[in-house]
Amino acid sequence: MLAIMDNAPAFLDQSRPAVPDIAVPRGVNPFYLPLRPVRGRLIKLGPLAAALLDRHNYPPCVTPLAGQALVAVAALATALKFTGSFSLQIKGDGPVRMLLADCTDGGALRGYASVDDDKLNALLAEHPHPTPKQLLGEGYLAFTVDQGPDMERHQGIVALEGETLEEMALHYFHASEQTACFLRLACAETEHGWRASALVLERIAGAGGVDPEMDMLAQDDSWATALVLATTVKDSELLDDALPAEHLLWRLFGNEGVAADRPRKLNYGCRCSRARLSEVLATFGTDDLDHMQQEGAITMTCEFCNMEFRFDRTEVGPAIPTHNASPETH
């Protein structure tokens, strides 16, 4: 956590309330099948999942969806070479109005869900165990690579298709004619708290990394075999802290000669600060700021970490006029 700057102007103050300082050294576990057209990643958030999800008082049916979004973006971001952030955003007309998660090139992970309580209560009255599709409704899914203000943002958008978040994400890849892939997401509350995990496979395009003697039909068969093996994984295996990633990968793909690559860390990644939020407040007019203030202060809550930041009204925008000032001051 950055040190608090005494009496610093809000736009220079990088301080923030205390948040969990959690990093998972082996959060991302890349692997490949030698001489097969297959590579993949196994994501295991471990206690990082609880640290991210417990900050929000989500309804029980929403928390697993938020956790799946976190591991989905971690699984997909770590396949790319970029500097900045990779985000998953879903907007729909269902009870979960927005689902957002992003991951930086350094593995900083964050996310949140925006819930319409009235719509959710109405849905639960008819469907006590709603599907992700019922929670999200009709809308769109967007993947975005943001490498900063000096670089062009790359974004792909598709309509929401499928009953699960896995199916919605895979629809994007099918629609955009990306490399064939498999995606499995898991999130549940265990005896150790919330846990989230993902398994992703990608078919390697062309002959790179594949046995040069293997014809296209044999490559198709190898990919099909890998898919069959991947579908045997259980949520209990993905979410088990006591089952190391390399052991699970060997259990799934040992007969294919699975090989592990260098693991990558994931960490608690909310990037809010008083300076960032003061920049947001600076975009509002005087009347809006006056309306926001209560007893001379404006309180803002970061959607990602659910932390509150308090600003004196005089810190942001023009100061509030003093009503009891002497006539000479007007």
Q: Which helix (H) or strand (E) holds 250?
A: helix 245-253
What pLDDT was estimated at residue 136? 98
- Give the strand pairing for 96-104 and 85-92: antiparallel
Average pLDDT over residues 297-312: 74
- In this prediction, residue 164 carries a pLDDT of 96
**307 vs 197: CA distance, rounded Å:** 26
pLDDT at 35 over 90: no
Report the SS3 class of residue 105: coil
| pLDDT over 80 at 323, yes or no | no
Taking all residues of the chain, what is their mean pLDDT, rounded to a whole number? 84
At 273, the amino acid letter reads S
Using alpha carbons, list the distances in angstroms from residue 140 to 99, 135, 166, 173, 184.
11, 13, 14, 14, 20
Instruction: State yes or no: pLDDT of 109 exceeds 70.
Output: yes
- pLDDT value at 142 more than 90: yes
Q: What band does 179 get if pLDDT is binned at 50, 70 and 90? A: confident
Please report the domains of the chain, with CATH numbers, ordered by start residue: 23-268 (3.55.30.10), 273-329 (3.90.1280.10)
In angstroms, rounded to a whole number, what is the distance separating the alpha carbons of residues 287 and 279? 17
Residue 50: strand, helix, or coil = helix
Q: Is the pLDDT of residue 107 over 80?
A: yes
Which band of pLDDT confidence, cut at 50, 70 and 90, is reported for residue 319?
A: very low
Per-residue confidence (pLDDT) for residue 304, from 0 to 100: 72
Distance CA 216, CA 261 (A): 26
Instruction: Supply 62's token pair.
Output: 């929403």
